[in-house]
Structure 1
Amino acid sequence: MRVADLTTPALLVDAAALEANLADMASALPGPRLRPHVKAHKTTALAARQAAHGHHGFTCATIREIEGMAAAGLGTDLLLANEVLDARRLGRVVDNGARVTVAVDSAETVRAAADGGVREVLVDVDVGQHRCGTTPETAGALADAARAAGLTVRGVMGYEGHLQMLADPAERARRTTGCTDRLRVAHADVGGEIVSGGGTGTHAMNTFVTEIQAGSYALMDTAYTAAGLPFRQALTVLSTVVFAGEGRAVADAGLKALATDHGHPTVPGGTVVSCADEHLTYTPGTPLRAGDRIRILPAHVDPTVVLHERLHVVDGDGPDAEVLDTWAVDLRGW
């Protein structure tokens, strides 16, 4: 199959760019130094490629991701880096032989883990994002409560998500140090062999943690690219121009194919004007005709991928580029 044979909109992954990203990150953070976050791609076939680069522990955002990774034989060491109040499905995954650790940040989430059959936890610490997480000062007491409930406390985690795409690397590094100072205080009281955190934007500067939870590096998007990170844009959305004229072009990929929470997507050589449910309107830099194909760069990889059922791995840029493989986005849903 060639790219020209695909029905649009379609999610494309450049094989060479993906492999370069995986290899570069494996060189920067080898083996257990990286715990790839599958929420960015929700695809077990891509996770298997990350495992082939030496990363056998994975970060997940949902119970569905935990279940799917375990079913795909990738359950050596799975971390659910979110709190849940019903862990029974996680307990069943543990009973079936996978290793599952869940984040806890309150007495309620500790009780849910124990009642659900999960045996291992990380204490989640709020390092400045002000989403989930306990305070550094209360982390030790929460760890004691988890141990009293029969749980093994493997360590702490904290995510500086609010810093990932700061444009100034020096400012990003300075503020990351402030976040890790909070995590350091918590770990001193909690103990354990794991200090987990970070992401694609801080992977090179968060040196205190024992493992980085990066995910977007594999596929990338325009928001992360703008932050000056050393990874290639591997993900594009293939779209067909359905109208061209009067100084504008309209393509068949809108809000149901492209996430816009980080701003408009990008059409190389053009200027995006608006996104509607099924359409993207932009001012093209060169003349176009109805039926032409374009590749759109998403602004946010995670919620763009989840809008699609499959990823097409392709070799090259043009319409005659070969489709090397098609991977199901099989970790979608709840």
Structure 2
Amino acid sequence: MYALQDPGSIASPALLVYRDIATENIRRMIAMAGGPERLMPHVKTHKMAPLVAEQLQQGITRFKCATFAEAQMLAEAGAKDILMAYQLNSPTAEAFAMLAFRFQKIRFASLVDNIASARLLNDIWEKAAASRKPIGFLPSAAPVPQKARVYIDIDCGQHRTGIAPSGAAALWRELQALPHVEVAGLHAYDGHIRETDMTERTRQCNEAFAPVAELARQMGDVEIIAGGSPTFPIHLQRPGVICSPGTSILWDEGYRTSCPEQDFTPAALLLTRVISKPQEGYITLDLGHKAVSAENPITKRVFFKNLGEYEVISQSEEHLVVKTPQAASIQVGDVLYGLPYHVCPTVALYNEATVIRDGKAIASWPIARGRRILNTANFSTK
């Protein structure tokens, strides 16, 4: 179902997004949740405004992101609620504030796990409330948002970011003293829980979540945003918890094999071509490190659905060498379709995606990548 009618019109390597499959994945995600109100999908996987528009059309209004480029894309696409699931430093914090002031009908929030980061946000909002100069793009009568909304980032076992649940109550009390900061709730990402066995995955997830739930009760039953794609069906069993799967919309080989209980279909493939046949039984593809995520072992980077038996031998910046009994029947210039093992960082390697429907390329969608931010030269809090 992935083969193109005219692959000759697309330069390789290329990222292909199959629109109807992505649309169906969104529908299935909403059906699993029992409605769009339980969802705050993470856009880091796809980074594409048209897919945000599709989710908005199906009733999803809240989104998570990880970079300023993604936050700006969401704002311009019409999202109603944007959580930048990242702790902000200067100058991104100032740029994020400018985005919030510019799109005042959107609810913006970010994460904090320490008081110093929260004070930075407090100072930015305090200066904005006291002076119009840093935000001169606003109409003179426009009200300035008085508080920076934050979620306390909880370390529930991954030990990457966040504060331990035991210390979060003290941080929450410190945040109450900041006049320009509003605590919207708790954020608990359990990306370390990836067991294929659903019983064991559920046990680990429940164990990690228990102190988060207790902390929320101490804080007055505040909102909790929890989990990612592997623990999505587990957190759905907790009334009121907002779930933020991300990979569900595009899916990939990694989650297809490790989360078989979730009925999603891969919606993003890589079009690659044979560029050489260096020796008997081998083919070389234009699918190097720059075209498919290479953080996993060589055997877990890309999977070819129309090649049959094969073994990936090596990969460099521009090349992927494959050993296959089919090599004799394959010609230089032939097209193969590769399914990424990890689609999120693979998408981030491309500036655009070629959109496919009924075997034909119908559009090109830009991808919100890169680290450029708004000009914050006149927005210093010092």
Classify the TM-score, shorter chain: over 0.9
1:331: how far off? 4.0
Report 1:1-334 matches (<5 A): 2-29=6-33, 30-74=35-79, 76-86=80-90, 87-96=93-102, 97=104, 98-117=106-125, 119-150=148-179, 151-163=181-193, 165-191=194-220, 193-206=222-235, 207-208=237-238, 210-227=241-258, 228=260, 229-244=262-277, 245-262=279-296, 263-268=300-305, 269=308, 270-286=310-326, 287-316=329-358, 321-334=359-372
Give the aligned residue type for 2:8: A
1:139: how far off? 1.3
Q: 2: CA distance between counterparts of 1:298 and 1:258?
A: 7
1:45: how far off? 1.6
Q: 2: CA distance between counterparts of 1:275 and 1:53?
A: 40
1:273: how far off? 1.8
Give the aligned residue type for 1:330: A
Matched residue of 2:44: which SS?
helix
Larger deviation, residues 110-119 vs 269-278: 110-119
Q: CA distance change for structure 1 residues 72 and 217 in 2, over 3 Å: closer, same or farther? A: same
Q: Which runs of 5+ in 2 are unaligned?
A: 126-146, 373-382
Q: Identity of counterpart residues, as a percentage? A: 29
1:192: how far off? 5.3
Matched residue of 2:170: which SS?
helix
Q: Using structure 1 for the length normalisation, give the TM-score.
A: 0.93
Q: 1: CA distance between counterparts of 2:233 and 2:77?
A: 30
Whether the 8 Å CA contact 1:43–1:331 is kept in 2: the answer is: no
Q: Using structure 2 for the length normalisation, give the TM-score.
A: 0.82
Deviations 1:243-280 (A, max 9, x none): 23510111111100000213321122232222211011
1:84: how far off? 1.4
Q: 2: CA distance between counterparts of 1:130 and 1:223?
A: 22
Larger deviation, residues 250-259 vs 17-26: 17-26
The number of aligned residues is: 328
Q: Which runs of 5+ in 1 are unaligned?
A: none
Deviations 1:3-53 (A, max 9, x none): 330000000012232122111001112212110101111111211112222
Q: 1: CA distance between counterparts of 2:218 and 2:86?
A: 21
Q: CA distance change for structure 1 residues 219 and 143 in 2, over 3 Å: closer, same or farther? A: same
Deviations 1:88-132 (A, max 9, x none): 111111211132111111011211221233521111111000111
Deviations 1:284-305 (A, max 9, x none): 3533110100011111111100
Give the aligned residue type for 1:233: P
Whether the 8 Å CA contact 1:68–1:330 is kept in 2: the answer is: yes
Q: CA distance change for structure 1 residues 192 and 71 in 2, over 3 Å: closer, same or farther? A: farther
Deviations 1:203-256 (A, max 9, x none): 111233621111101111111111113211111110110123510111111100
1:191: how far off? 3.4
Q: 2: CA distance between counterparts of 1:264 and 1:65?
A: 25
Give the aligned residue type for 2:183: V
Whether the 8 Å CA contact 1:34–1:211 is kept in 2: the answer is: yes
Larger deviation, residues 46-55 vs 204-213: 204-213
Q: CA RMSD in A?
A: 1.7
1:182: how far off? 2.1
Matched residue of 1:4: which SS?
helix
